[in-house]
Every structure is written in C-alpha cells, then in structure tokens.
Amino acid sequence: MSLLKQEAVGAYVRELRLGLHMSLRTLAARSAFSPSFISQLENGLVSPSINSIQKIAEALGVTLAEFFEAVARGLGGSIVRSSERETLPSSWSKAMVESLISGDGGHTFEAILITIEPGGQSGKYPYPRPHGEFAFVVEGEVSLTLGPETYVLDVGDAVMMLPNELRLWTNDADGAARILVVSARTPIGGGGEPR
C-alpha cells in the first residue's frame, strides 16, 4: 500500500490550481473554504476530511479517483493489487481512503474503499455530490445521513445515492467500518466532462 503524504496532496492541489490559472482565493470560494485553509492544505500543514478533498477536487474539475491517480503519478495499472493501492489518510475524519482503480484515467466510474475508525466521520456536515453513488458496507457498522434521514448500515447492506443528495458517513460503533463506494465520473445526465 502506498501512502499519499499530505505534502504530495498539497503540491498537487497547487499544481492543478496554477494549471487552471486560478488564484488561491478563487479556489477557496469555489470549494467553500477559507483562503487560509487552502494555503495550509497546499503547504501540507493540514489533514483534510474526505468531504473536503472531494469538494476541492470537484472545484478543480477532477474526481477523487483522478486525484489519486495524479498524486501517485501513474503507479499501478489495470489491476490494482491490495498491496499497491494508493491511500490517503485523513486524521480529521479518522479515516483512510483507498483508490481501487488506477491507470490511464479513461474509466467511466471511480471506486474507492473508505475505512472509518470509531468516532470518525466523512465531514462536519452532510455534503452533496454531483454524481450518483453506490455504496456497500464491507465491514463493521456505520451510520449514513442521507438527506433528512439517518440510517444504520451493517455488513452486506447497500445503498444507492442520487446525485446532489446530502450525505454524511459516521462511525459510532466500537470497531472500524469499511465502505466500498462506486460513482460515475460525470454527473448523471450531465454528459461530458466532470465539473
């Protein structure tokens, strides 16, 4: 397993932002974060939540899977061995995100494995994703706030989440929870490039 360092994540955010000729303040506004937070992220000083990384990636026009691929600089291939997965830790979320797809970026979907430790959560608040997502609980018990409702999901439970539906993963159990999440790389009905 290859651990993606905070510094590498921050450097890639800066590289993408500069490549788009986007100011730090513009990225902050588009992702709903403060310029100070974006600066700290780019300098490898913070460990953002899973939702934070997703929001920043989307503001930069890439998916979480594309973000993994680029930060890893093309490691892996069509087959991703469990020992070769690109992994992004989030100490704030008490979570680890693993990319299950690697390669040339030509995939039409992304697949990630999220491990949330007891007391962890995917973000401070429920957050909408522009993509529909399918999630399957691989291990443990986890709570999912989906829209106005909260559901407790156990091993083997699955959920289909509509685009732009508010969602938040929380682990209130005693053990770690692992969730497989698969989503389209383009918003459903949006066609073309991801936003």
What is the rounded end-to-end Cα distance, in angstroms, of the chain?
A: 29
Query: Between 160 and 91, where is the model more confident?
Result: 160
Q: Are 62 and 194 in contact (CB under 8 A)?
A: yes
What percent of the chain has pLDDT above 90? 38
Helices (H), 21-156: 24-31, 35-42, 50-59, 64-72
Provide the 3-class DSSP secondary structure of residue 67.
helix
Q: What is the largest CA-CA distance in the chain?
A: 46
CA-to-CA dists, residue 104 to 29, 74, 78, 149, angstroms = 30, 8, 9, 38
With H, G, I as helix, E, B as strand and everything else as coil, classify residue 28.
helix
Q: Are 124 and 49 in contact (CB under 8 A)?
A: yes
Contact 88, 54 (CB under 8 A): no
Q: What is the mean pLDDT of residues 172-177?
A: 96
pLDDT in tens, 82-96: 887 878 888 888 998
pTM score, two decimals?
0.64
Where does the pLDDT of residue 71 fall: very low under 50, low under 70, confident under 90, or very high at 90 and above?
low
Domains of the chain in start order, with CATH, are 2-184 (2.60.120.10)
- pLDDT(65) > 60: yes
Tell me the average pLDDT of the chain: 82
The whole-angstrom separation of Cα 175 and Cα 22 is 41
Short-list 31, 183, 168, 42, CA closest to 93? 168
